[in-house]
A and B are shown apart, each in its own frame.
Chain A
């Protein structure tokens, strides 16, 4: 039994058409380069797919220009997840020139050895297209027997991987096979949810035609947060597994077979506030303002603009940040969906305990953390929290549970003010 919440999917609006729409490349991109040192200077001409930053160490990947044009600056700029990050700014020449070999089939790609594949992943800038953006060559270096392709997309609104599975199932399967070879794994398991059975059936039929006996498709219930990476890891217990997103498998296929570095990814531009919510192919570094234009702008004033899913994504203060590989969607949610109600003191309804997927006691942890009793919070399993947000979602008194849980996982040196004030009082159960 998977504990969680059956959230309203709200996925239909972006699935009216299965295709991912491709627009002309944006006029300007800002590509975050992380810790890497850039190899370009302002004024340099680049083509799409050209290297703009070498990997700083064995744990990082190369970064490539996503459009052709002129490098205008290398400076710190807005990032969807952090306050700011070093980024390379490129202004488009509107010709969309590609680097040498881009899109042509690599000779002998199916005979590459594991080491060659891993170094190819690194040089083509491949990261897993999930929020953590772990480099593919780092993940693929693990020795496991089972490779999991996560095609769940458990959060509401997000459908870009669903659309990708419907439009490019064979590429995803071939990408997964390349990953399997690189890792030396025996089995590939594609996990998806029961709200995309048609995609699962499509994949199954393609697997049948490929005659790949080591591929398997598993359908799990669409109960949030089942289908997130931590929950999949939990589901497989101590089995050695490694998890990649379906979109990552596609990117691996394009990089290895068609020599395309990671310069674009599928993105859901969704939510009730867009005029035309849809799934698009967007170049990395595309400003959010341009993504909004892809959906033909706002129909009405959004209450929140969220980078990522509505349960774990980061709300954006403005539209200045740009697309990074780990971002599956940009959502504009109306005020009535994201309105914040008055918070009350806990009434011990126990609902958070009921929906907690890792079966800890969010209520006791947050009550303890509120009072600065972080030791006690740890005893109730604070460290096992996966930050799925279910407890905050379900809380009838609207307490910011997830924030207290985050604080319980990383206790501040100085206890919060409320904690200092009430510490002397007796806490029931303390």
Chain B
């Protein structure tokens, strides 16, 4: 081969990690597959309807946001569809399709208003869910209409737990989920529930889902490992507290939302050691 040729000269480093944004979002979405398969098996058409309506609304909102903010539509990176897939799992299957679509549509628009994917510090799927819980809470009160609204104890609920752990194992192996996060969230919830039991008891499936799929959402977590632990711990305490004092249908989701809102503050308090030292010496 000739050696008198030119090559690409770009700055170092010349090696890159194999993981990328697409793998993160599509990988996360794949980890939800077992749950979705179960949902379709148990709730047939209703589950599919909620899923497709949510996916379509998310895609539409993303496209609309791209048009109005004059940027390239980026549906292919999977962020909007991942949010929709998470969102739809938490929506009861007997939900009117219009409301199901509205929730995620508004959530994606709010995400864009808060700076878009990555900069928005609240979980998109949870904004949609919180919106529905506050506007049409009655649908959440009918039991048995969704994987996460079944009575515990039966086969479907056991299979749901299994699917949750299977999905968590998938993202644990891919550095998306750190093992401390579920620990720091679940342990305070269980301890507080044992010491100060509430009338309504948190659902273990909701708690696990929040620990595995809602807390580690990219962009909504503090930047440092210590910060992420603090956020998980706070979310756990909020979950118990909301369960005791509030009447929201699914307090676990609101708890994660509250922890998300504290993320920028946690990032201000908990700095990496080197950055903290710089700020200290600047103050002195």
A-side residues, CB < 8 A to B, are 7, 156, 289, 292-293, 297-306, 310-319, 333, 337-341, 344-351, 353-354, 356, 358-361, 363-364, 378-381, 383-384, 389-390, 392-398, 400, 402-403, 406, 428-429
Q: Please pick, from B77, B175, B223, the residue contacting A344 in the complex, using a CB distance under 8 A.
A: B77
Interface string of B234-276 (1 = CB under 8 A from A): 0000000000000000000000000000001001100111110
CB-CB under 8 A for A429 and B15, given A354-B225, A380-B278 = no
**Interface: B222 (CB within 8 A):** yes
In chain B, what residue has the closest Cβ to A348? B219
Q: B10 contacts which of A7, A340, A394 (Cβ < 8 Å)?
A: A340
Pairs across A and B, CB under 8 Å, 16 listed: A298-B3, A300-B1, A304-B14, A311-B12, A315-B8, A315-B14, A317-B7, A333-B14, A347-B24, A347-B218, A356-B272, A359-B272, A359-B274, A398-B16, A398-B20, A403-B11
Q: For B12, give its contact among A339, A384, A397, A402 (CB under 8 Å).
A: A402
Query: Are B223 and A315 touching (Cβ within 8 A)?
Result: no
Q: Given known contacts A348-B220, A402-B11, what 19 new A-B pairs fall within 8 Å (CB)?
A: A304-B7, A304-B10, A305-B7, A310-B13, A311-B14, A311-B15, A312-B13, A315-B11, A333-B14, A338-B16, A341-B20, A350-B228, A351-B175, A358-B274, A360-B278, A380-B279, A381-B272, A402-B13, A406-B11
Distance A354 CA – B221 CA, assembled complex (angstroms): 13
Q: Are A337 and B264 in contact (CB under 8 A)?
A: no
Contact A304 B3 (CB under 8 A): no
Given A360-B278, A392-B16, A345 and B1 contact (CB-CB distance below 8 Å): no
B274 touches A289 (CB 8 A): no
- Determine whether the beta carbon of B116 is less than 8 Å from that of A361: no
Q: What 10 pairs across the A-B complex have the smallest Cβ distances?
A: A389-B13, A359-B274, A347-B118, A360-B274, A317-B9, A381-B278, A359-B273, A350-B223, A298-B1, A347-B218
Structural contact, B267 and A429, CB atoms closer than 8 A: yes
Residues from chain A with a CB closer than 8 A to the CB of B138 are none
Residues of chain A within 8 A (CB-CB) of B121 are: 428
Which B residues touch A354, using CB under 8 A?
225
**Inside 8 A of A406's CB, which chain B residues have their CB?**
11
Q: With the chains together, A394 CA to B20 CA distance in Å?
A: 9
Of the candidates B20, B116, B274, the one whose C-beta lies within 8 Å of that of A345 is: B116
Residues of A within 8 A of B13 (CB): 310-312, 389-390, 392-393, 402
**The residue from B74, B218, B264 contacting A429, defined by CB atoms under 8 A apart:** B264
Asked whether A394 lies within 8 Å of B17 as measured between CB atoms, the reply is yes
Q: Which of B7, B10, B16 contacts A318 (CB 8 A)?
A: B7
Whether A315 pairs with B225 at a CB distance below 8 angstroms is no
Chain B hits for A346, CB < 8 A = 118-119
Q: Is B5 an interface residue, CB under 8 A from the partner?
A: yes
Q: Does B152 contact A (CB under 8 A)?
A: no
Chain A residues near B21: list those with CB within 8 A.
344, 347, 396-398
Which residues on the A side are within 8 Å of B228 (C-beta)?
350
Task: Tell me, rounded to whole Å, the shortest Cβ–Cβ distance linking B16 to chain A.
Answer: 6
Residues of chain A contacted by B16 (CB below 8 angstroms): 338-341, 392-393, 398
* Set of chain B residues within 8 Å of A347, measured between Cβ atoms: 21, 24, 117-118, 218-219
Report how far A350 CA is from B227 CA in the complex, Å.
Answer: 10
Decide if A348 touches B221 in the complex (CB within 8 Å): yes
Chain B: residues with CB nearer than 8 A to chain A? Answer: 1, 3-17, 19-21, 23-24, 74, 77, 115-119, 121, 175, 218-225, 228, 264, 267-268, 271-275, 277-279, 282
**Residues in chain B near residue A339, CB distance under 8 A:** 16
The residue on B at minimum CB distance from A426 is B115
By a CB distance below 8 angstroms, the chain A residues around B221 are 348, 350
What's the minimum C-beta distance from A314 to chain B, rounded to whole angstroms?
7
Beta-carbon contact of B15 and A337 below 8 Å: yes
- The secondary structure that dominates the B interface is loop
Nearest A-chain residue to B79, judged by Cβ: A347
In the bound assembly, the distance between CA atoms of A396 and B264 in angstroms comes to: 21
Q: Which of B15, B267, B282 contacts A7 (CB 8 A)?
A: B15
* A317 in contact with B6 (CB, 8 Å): yes
How many angstroms between the C-alpha atoms of A57 and B282 in the bound complex? Answer: 38
The answer on a CB contact under 8 Å between A361 and B275 is yes
**Given A318-B6, A359-B273, A396-B24, A379:B14 Cβ within 8 A:** no
Residues of B within 8 A of A340 (CB): 10, 16
CA distance A428 to B218 in the complex (A): 16
A318 / chain B contacts, CB cutoff of 8 Å: 4-7
The interface centre, meaning the residue of B8, B74, B218, B221 with most chain A CB atoms within 10 A of its CB, is B8
Find out whether the CB atom of A364 lies under 8 angstroms from the CB atom of B223. yes
A294 to chain B, nearest CB (A): 12
Known: A298-B3, A304-B8, A314-B12. A428 touches B20 (CB 8 A): no
Residues of B close to A364: CB separation below 8 A = 223, 267, 275
Residues from chain A with a CB closer than 8 A to the CB of B19 are: 396
Distance in Å: Cβ of A320 to nearest Cβ of chain B:
9
**Could you tell me if B24 and A313 are in contact, using CB atoms closer than 8 angstroms?**
no
Could you tell me if B15 and A393 are in contact, using CB atoms closer than 8 angstroms? yes
Cβ 8 A contact of A397, one of B15, B115, B116, B118: B118
Which residues of B lie under 8 Å from residue A381 when comparing CB positions? 272, 274-275, 277-278
Q: A292-B3, A302-B7, A379-B282 are in contact. Are A315 and B12 (CB under 8 A)?
A: yes
Q: Report B-chain residues with C-beta under 8 Å of the C-beta of A304.
A: 7-10, 14
Docked CA distance A380–B275 (Å) = 5
Question: Once bound together, how far apart are the Cα atoms of A310 and B175, in whole Å?
Answer: 24
Q: Contact: B117 with A345, CB < 8 Å?
A: yes
Query: In the complex, what's the smallest C-beta–C-beta distance from B222 to chain A, in angstroms?
Result: 7
Closest to B225 in A: A354
CA–CA, A383 and B118, complex, Å: 26
- B275: A residues at CB distance < 8 A: 359-361, 364, 379-381
Q: Which residues of chain B come closer than 8 Å to A348, judged between CB atoms?
A: 118-119, 218-221, 223
**B-chain residues with CB within 8 Å of residue A392 when the two chains form the complex:** 13, 16
Residues of A within 8 A of B5 (CB): 318
A347 to B272, CA, bound (A): 18
What is the CA–CA distance of A74 and B17 in the complex, to the nearest angstrom?
Answer: 43
A390 to B9: give the CA distance in the assembly, Å: 19
With CB as the reference atom, state the residue of chain B lying closest to A357. B274
| Chain B residue nearest in CB terms to A335 | B8
